[in-house]
Amino acid sequence: MNTKSSPAKLFLAIAIICSSIQLGVADDASHETSAKNVILLIGDGMGFPQLTLARIDRAGGNVNQYGSVELFMDGMEQTGMVKTSSANSLVTDSAPASSAMATGEKTNNGVISQNSAAIQGKRDGENLTTILEMAEESGLSTG
């Protein structure tokens, strides 16, 4: 397992921790707020064009009105967008996209959580540490 930290991994860990604090529930004993659970929802293949299309659909096809339409996700307290292009292609697939979110590093298409030396079906690369592995190493429960 690669335990070397990168700036992207650090940013991802900090973002999740900050979200946890803000999404917390009151602890009756101390009256402080701490997270009980963090749930990450990922819209695979969803970007700005798909959100625009959803808004146009919600506006009944009226492209002049879609800008004022709100989707349910627009009302969520915490949302984010992440750029997850693969290391070897402008067109990415789910493996490197999810690996970028889980490890903070880019991988090649068809490769899950291994560095960019890995090429699908040809050679393995170095395993990358995921945010779940980092959480478990810190004594947190994951699922």
Give 51-104 pLDDT, tens digit per residue: 889 999 999 998 889 889 999 888 888 777 777 889 999 888 889 988 988 898
Q: Is 98 in the active site?
A: no
CB 78 within 8 A of CB 87: no
Instruction: Provide the CB-side half-sphere exposure for 133 (13 A, CA).
Output: 15
Q: How far is CA 65 from CA 56, 59, 105, in A?
A: 8, 6, 38
pTM (whole model) above 0.75: no
Residue 52 C-alpha from the chain's centroid: 20
Of the listed 6, 19, 94, 98, which one is catalytic? 94
CA distance 27 to 16: 20
